[in-house]
Amino acid sequence: MSRVGKKPVSIVSGVKVSLDGKLITVEGPKGKLTFEHRSEVEVKVDDGQVTVSRFNDDRESRSFHGLTRAVIQNMIVGVTQGYEKKLDIVGVGYVASVQNGEIQMRVGFANELVRKIPEGLTVVCPDTTHVTITGCDKQQVSQFAAELRSLRKPEPYKGKGIRYSGEQVKLKAGKASAK
């Protein structure tokens, strides 16, 4: 039995969970999220709890059992508290700004990198070297943060690039210490 999947998900006050066939809809103060679960599992909503069960014990059903429960839990947390990712931009002359629904970044290339901000996300630059991404969908927030980080990953010699806030970059010694 899945240890994650067998725990019921409690519905906090102010959140409305509805089930229409395989489509689960979660509404709360921060937004509305939907998820279509797989046919290997069954979802039930009753008296303030969401329970997930599976029909058989094959490998695929067991994996979707825990996954479905975790996704529903993340949806409930997302519509009540929301999710946030912070990025730090490290390097001389490396800057970022948000204008007209786009984020512009100068990170050492000849041209400025421009990315459109997806619907449902809020991107703020408190200063030119920090970016904060917030939203109610955990997957969407993490995906956009990963896309921005991949534009200029931290390099191992000086540590310049875009990194998650709090991320430790292991620096290499370089040629000078080879003596």
Do residue 104 and residue 148 come from a single domain?
yes
Given a contact cutoff of 8 angstroms between Cβ atoms, the answer to whether 107 and 152 are in contact is yes
Do residue 74 and residue 23 come from a single domain?
yes
Q: Could you say which residues of the chain have pLDDT below 70?
A: 1-2, 178-179
| Final residue in a domain of this structure, among 23, 50, 80 | 80
| Final residue in a domain of this structure, among 61, 80, 99 | 80
pLDDT at position 175 is 83
Residue 33 forms part of a structural domain: yes
Residue 178 forms part of a structural domain: no
Do residue 13 and residue 68 come from a single domain?
yes
| Final residue in a domain of this structure, among 23, 57, 80 | 80
pLDDT at position 178 is 65
Given a contact cutoff of 8 angstroms between Cβ atoms, the answer to whether 99 and 51 are in contact is no
**Which structural domain, as residue segments, surrounds residue 73?**
9-80
pLDDT at position 177 is 72
pLDDT at position 174 is 82
**Residue 112: which CATH number?**
3.90.930.12
Do residue 101 and residue 118 come from a single domain?
yes
d(CA 7, CA 4): 6
Do residue 24 and residue 54 come from a single domain?
yes
DSSP code for 117: P
d(CA 179, CA 175): 8
d(CA 51, CA 1): 14
d(CA 169, CA 163): 8
Q: CA torsion sign, 39 to 33 to 149 to 116? A: positive
SS3 69: helix
Do residue 37 and residue 23 come from a single domain?
yes
Do residue 73 and residue 115 come from a single domain?
no
Do residue 112 and residue 53 come from a single domain?
no
Do residue 38 and residue 93 come from a single domain?
no
Given a contact cutoff of 8 angstroms between Cβ atoms, the answer to whether 107 and 151 are in contact is yes
Q: Quick: pLDDT tens for 124-172.
A: 999 999 999 999 999 999 999 999 999 999 999 999 999 999 999 999 9
Number of domains the chain contains: 2
DSSP code for 171: P
Residue 142 forms part of a structural domain: yes
